Amino acid sequence: MSLAPDITEILARARADLRMGVPIVLKDGDSAALALAAETLDAQRLADIRALGNGTVLTITARRAETLKARAYDGDLARITLPPDATLAWVLGVADPADDLKTPMKGPLISERDGVADLHRIALRLTKTARLLPAALMVPLTDGAVFSTSHGLTLVDATQARPLLETTSPLNPVVSARLPLEVSEAGRLHVFRPEDGGEEHYAIEIGKPARDKPVLARLHSACFTGDLMGSLKCDCGPQLRGALTQMGAEGAGVLLYLNQEGRGIGLANKMRAYSLQDQGFDTVDANHRLGFEDDERDFRIGAHILTKMGFSDVRLLTNNPSKIAMMEANGITVTDRVPLQVGENAHNRAYLATKAKKSGHLL
């Protein structure tokens, strides 16, 4: 019997450590590295890292590197040499685009060419899934296992971690209960919990939709600002209420409320993107400057929940063709696309136009 955490549990710990500013150790065979999230680094830990010796790099995504005019020799990421006099402000300035326009010259930034970036890739994946800025300070270690034990740090084995970081965590139903709604008294809320310790997702079932016929369905991604605060910067609130109203009128439907705030980058990063939008960048460029792809959501989650609930065919309320493609690729047949065009206003007109132009949204 072993009470030790398995790799899924170790990864959940590693994300929590990174969010708290605690270093983690990554190892792959004989190579190992200490990793810290740039966003949660403090001056003391930076000084401690310096004392460990040479070879420290700041790993950023190729998207962020492009903005900074740094070479991404590793394709999807760049390993930037930490200059000997680099301060905490320098690290944060490379990681966070907030002051890019005020201090455009951070360089010259020197990217590492030699060596492999496998551990760096895992570190970036962990910062992203911890909903932090995708940037990690990394120090090579000679013996990762010994170092992690002597400092009491979480040790992640890359070979075990990699397959988990590429797949969607299994989700399990936790509870469901009756929830009368304004749009229909026959509402029911189901809670699904992923096994990887990530955020829970919800399904609102309206009426008793037949499992052997296409169900009117919506995959709605969380938008705290639009869904709850009535933000005019997007169309999420009206889409959420419009979808529920349509399901209420038909007497049946299922709305998945997926906790993938900000197209999967988290609320803090979405607000960083909003600040960049106030500086003149559009929604896609803002994500790229932060180091993210346009859309970091995992729509496989939605397909898995529908399957768990017994649905295989949907009439999908969406304007986003990639949602349809992801459903089809994951075992859900989209028999119809039901357009959902509501809530355009003077503040979100440009945002909706960008989504149509750059992300292929249907008008």
Ligand X SMILES: Nc1nc2c(ncn2[C@@H]2O[C@H](COP(=O)(O)OP(=O)(O)OP(=O)(O)O)[C@@H](O)[C@H]2O)c(=O)[nH]1
Contacting residue, 64, 120, 128, 220, with ligand X by CB under 6 A: 220
Residues 253 and 207 sit within 8 Å (Cβ to Cβ): yes
270 is in an annotated binding site: no
Q: Tell me the per-residue interface mask from 272 to 311 with ligand X, x by CB under 6 A, - otherwise.
A: -x---------x---x------------------------
Choose, by CB under 6 A, the member of 80, 137, 139, 234 that binds ligand X. Answer: 234
Residues 271, 28: Cα–Cα separation, whole Å: 35
When asked if residue 263 is in the footprint of ligand X (CB under 6 A), the reply is yes
What is the Cα–Cα distance from 167 to 163, expressed in whole angstroms? 6
C-alpha pair distances (Å), 184 with each of 179, 187, 219, 247: 9, 6, 19, 8
Member of 18, 204, 234, 314 binding Zn ion (CB under 5 A) = 234
What residues contact 357, with CB distance under 8 A and at least 6 apart? none
With a CB cutoff of 8 Å and minimum separation 6, the contacts of 140 are: 31, 32, 33, 55
Asked if 134 interacts with Zn ion (CB under 5 A), we say no
**Which range binds ligand X by CB under 6 A, 100-108, 166-174, 216-224, 247-255?**
216-224
Active site residue 297: yes
Catalytic option among 196, 235, 295, 298? 295
Annotated binding-site residue? 45: no
Q: How far apart are CA 235 and CA 218, in angstroms?
A: 14
Does position 18 bind ligand X by CB under 6 A? no
C-alpha 124/C-alpha 77 separation (Å) is 9
d(CA 361, CA 116) in angstroms, rounded, equals 38
61 binds ligand X (CB under 6 A): no
The residues of the shown chain that bind Zn ion, judged by CB under 5 A, are: 223, 226, 234, 236
The residues of the shown chain that bind ligand X, judged by CB under 6 A, are: 220-223, 234, 236, 239, 260-263, 265, 270, 273, 283, 287, 318-320, 323, 361
Catalytic residue numbers read: 295, 297
Known binding-site residues for GTP equal: 218-222, 239, 261-263, 283, 318, 323
